[in-house]
Amino acid sequence: MADVLIRGMEMPTSCNDCRFAVDGWFYVVPPTDRQPKLNYEVRTNWCPLIEVPPHGDLIDINALKLAIVNVDYVNKHDYLKGVLNAINNAPTIIPADKESEA
């Protein structure tokens, strides 16, 4: 299952302030018979929303590790150049936010 990032959305402080809570029902999680109707002044402990702090490019760390392991080198200098090249070319999963680019 993949995740979704909604740029520019602030983390709600309560279920009542959440864009995904409509008429007391929370529409981000699959509906179940056990899901209670919402009327909360705070965020619930089962809230699936996760705040993403300001950031630069978020990369695929596993792809970076693999690229570093596969760096072809003869000496320490070549190895460091290869590692820096791997870091600079790591696949970006989520581009930097506008605040971090400045």
Residues 6+ apart with CB under 8 A from 59: 90, 91, 92, 93
Q: Give the residue among 69, 88, 66 at the shortest CA–CA distance from 79.
A: 69
Domain ranges of the chain: 1-52, 58-101
The pLDDT of residue 63: 95
**Is the predicted pLDDT of residue 98 greater than 90, yes or no?**
no
Instruction: Please write the tens of the pLDDT for every residue from 34-52.
Output: 566 666 777 777 788 889 9
Q: Residue 93: which H helix or E strand, with range? A: strand 92-94
pLDDT digits (tens, 9 = 90+) for 6-24: 888 999 988 888 888 877 6
